[in-house]
Amino acid sequence: MGKQFKLKKLSLIGTRKNYEVIFKDGLNYISGPTSTGKTSILEMINYALGSEKHKNYIEIGQSCIAVELEIEIKDCKYKIRRKLFEFNEPVAVFAWNSQSNTFELLDTYEIDIPSNPKSLSAFLLEKLDLSNIKVAKQEFSFRDLFKFSYLKQTEIDNENIMGEKNWQTSIKRKPTFEIIFNMYDKLVAELKTSLKVKNKELRELQIKNKGISEFLERIDVVDLKTYFKKRQYAESNILEKQKQLEDIKRTNNTNDEISLSLQKRIVNLKNSIEKIEKDISDQKQYLNKLQMLKNQYISEVHKIDFIIEGYKTLDKYDYILCPSCLQPINKNDDLHTCSLCGREKTELKIDEILQFKQDKKRFIKKHKELVEFIKREEKNLQILIKKNSGFKADLLNLEKELLYLQKDYVNPYIEQIEQLNYEIGELNRALRELDNDHNLFIELDRINKLYDSKQQSIKDLNEKIKNTENSSVNRDELIKDLSGLLSGILDAFAFPKLENAYIDEKTYLPYVRGRLYRDLGSLASVTLITMAYYLAITIKARKEEFNHLGLLIIDSPRKNLGAKASEEGFKDEEIFNSIVRCLIKVGKDYEESIQLIVVNNGYPAFLDKINIIKEFDGDGTKGLPYGLIDDIKN
């Protein structure tokens, strides 16, 4: 019933090159030391799928300008392109054209709430047959659904699954769980309301389509196919008639002095076109460099904020493990010494804080001025492009004029040459008219794609309503099955002293040893239970094709486990090995319906290399890239 959502390829669009990660079905394992870009891969996926913003990744900011994510929803491929560090800019969505084997622009969408039909969330939910649903008097969002597919490193052991402790963040958690398993009481009614909205949107697209189509019919061109056919016909005729002129010139005497001046002008114009095209290329490179500088200004502002606020904030915490390498820290009882580096603590002086704030204002001002400067330079680029188009149009006219001037041949060829020149001129005029209307063809083609896509969405939604009405989900049986899965997964994880593991029928939260997961007093146990909980929901939902994405992303499954674990029962390395074995089995058993993305520092020797899609070594000396951005210039 539910459509599977697959990741196909992540691309960071760089100024030197692109950085790509290709995903496959089943298990996808990403490994490497700290600070090699493993987590940034997941964050870029999250950002492309509508997260409000991304972290200030310095190397990415210095090297990349945009992120592209290729996805597949029920055999339909899409590409999402979003600018980096430009959090409010619209997102471009492209659809795969199987005939041309390319992605073509479908539409642009905003990062906004799903009640906005032009939001990315609304687009994704429509493709999943879950749009226009209200839960807890709020719009159901793709981000609500994605929470069940993305287990962050900071959330895997935070004793607060999906913000369940706070009603503000958890108010949509239970309804989303119910939507995933078709238990939401209002689901059918909401889907029927959505169907009405989609039919209205389809009619609006139909009106747009009709208006453009009627105009194109009046100019005797119905679709892009006809346009290309007419253009090809005109171009081939021009080439044929030009060849006839050349044949006449070769076999008859001509006076080259008449056209010599015009030929020189044509050569000069071609040189001008070559120069301006180089200027256009240089201007584009210049704009890319300005974009990198703008990203650096943002980075400097974030650094200053961290310097000013970070000291007092971080000093509140008593660190047990190093936040970088996760190694145990030797306990230091001296209140005047930093627990991380062992150096004497020094507080910022007032004049230092004021200086930092002045620097921050200066960077913000520079960033604002640079944004305006970039806009002006983008206008200059458009001027160059327009000027180049003008040069090319002048060149076409001069070449046509040259053909007209070369008429002083000996009879009986004068009349034939004049006729050929006239016909070539008419064909060139027809080509210019076709090119002027080309944007209309592109827009019509795009609207046709949107119309077809909307029609398919309505068809799928009708089918979903029918299936949902005919399905009967027994809540008690479902919770029982989920509890069995949870217990089985924890057993496969080699969870110590496992007993009485289940999912509560009221809160939908996991319990182990008869206690709520966060009441066990062990971060290692929270890590295992949280992973097992997410995995159980994913497996159950995809077994019966409920409304889960069929995608599960896990960052740092080894956290709090192994030799670094603070609890004795979780120090056994076999626990982590058991987790990996379980993930391998799930990836194999549900290869067609579940996609697992796992990021961790290292992996067991028994993990098949086919499951490792990216591996970094941190220094580039082991025949592996040292990180995601593997060509950064120091």
Name the band, by pLDDT with cuts 50, 70 and 90, for residue 253.
very low
- Residue 413 has a pLDDT of 59
What tens digit of pLDDT does each residue of 117-128 get?
Answer: 899 999 999 999
Please check the confidence at residue 563 and state whether its pLDDT lies above 60: no
Task: Kindly state whether residue 602 falls inside one of the protein's structural domains.
Answer: no
Name, in order, each residue with C-beta under 8 angstroms of 602's C-beta and a sequence gap of 6 or more. Answer: 31, 558
Within 137-186, residue ranges assigned H as helices are: 142-146, 167-170, 173-180
Please check the confidence at residue 221 and state whether its pLDDT lies above 60: no
Is residue 618 within 8 A of residue 36, CB to CB? The reply is yes
- Residue 411 has a pLDDT of 45
What tens digit of pLDDT does each residue of 181-190 get?
Answer: 998 888 888 8
Nearest to residue 79, comparing CAs of 30, 123, 117? 123
- Residue 537 has a pLDDT of 97
Task: Kindly state whether residue 397 falls inside one of the protein's structural domains.
Answer: yes
Name the band, by pLDDT with cuts 50, 70 and 90, for residue 15.
confident
- Residue 243 has a pLDDT of 81
> How is residue 329 annotated by DSSP?
P
Name the band, by pLDDT with cuts 50, 70 and 90, for residue 61.
confident
What is the tally of structural domains in the chain? 1
- Residue 120 has a pLDDT of 96
Lowest mean pLDDT among 149-153, 209-213, 404-408, 540-544: 404-408
Is the model more confident about 114 or about 567?
114
Task: Kindly state whether residue 250 falls inside one of the protein's structural domains.
Answer: no
Task: Kindly state whether residue 398 falls inside one of the protein's structural domains.
Answer: yes
Cα 511 to Cα 151, 269, 529: the distances in Å are 18, 78, 8
- Residue 532 has a pLDDT of 97
Nearest to residue 140, comparing CAs of 181, 171, 109, 168? 171
Q: Which residues constitute the domain of residue 383?
A: 255-405
Enumerate the β-bridge partners of residue 255.
Answer: none
Name, in order, each residue with C-beta under 8 angstroms of 581's C-beta and a sequence gap of 6 or more. Answer: 492, 606
3-state secondary structure of 517: helix
What tens digit of pLDDT does each residue of 258-296 get?
Answer: 466 767 778 888 888 888 888 988 888 888 888 888 888
- Residue 254 has a pLDDT of 47
What tens digit of pLDDT does each residue of 575-621 get?
Answer: 999 999 999 999 999 999 999 999 999 999 999 999 999 999 888 77
Lowest mean pLDDT among 28-37, 246-255, 401-410, 612-621: 401-410
Is residue 11 within 8 A of residue 557, CB to CB? The reply is no
Task: Kindly state whether residue 65 falls inside one of the protein's structural domains.
Answer: no
Name the band, by pLDDT with cuts 50, 70 and 90, for residue 348.
low
Sheet holding 515-516, edge to edge: 502-503, 510-512, 515-516
Task: Kindly state whether residue 376 falls inside one of the protein's structural domains.
Answer: yes
Please check the confidence at residue 316 and state whether its pLDDT lies above 80: no
Lowest mean pLDDT among 192-201, 328-337, 446-455, 544-553: 328-337
Lowest mean pLDDT among 66-80, 91-105, 194-208: 194-208
Task: Kindly state whether residue 592 falls inside one of the protein's structural domains.
Answer: no
- What integer best gives the mean pLDDT of the chain? 84
Indicate the pTM of the whole model. 0.73
- Residue 308 has a pLDDT of 74
- Residue 571 has a pLDDT of 64
3-state secondary structure of 78: strand
Is the model more confident about 443 or about 577?
577
Nearest to residue 41, comparing CAs of 56, 33, 50, 30? 30
Task: Kindly state whether residue 382 falls inside one of the protein's structural domains.
Answer: yes
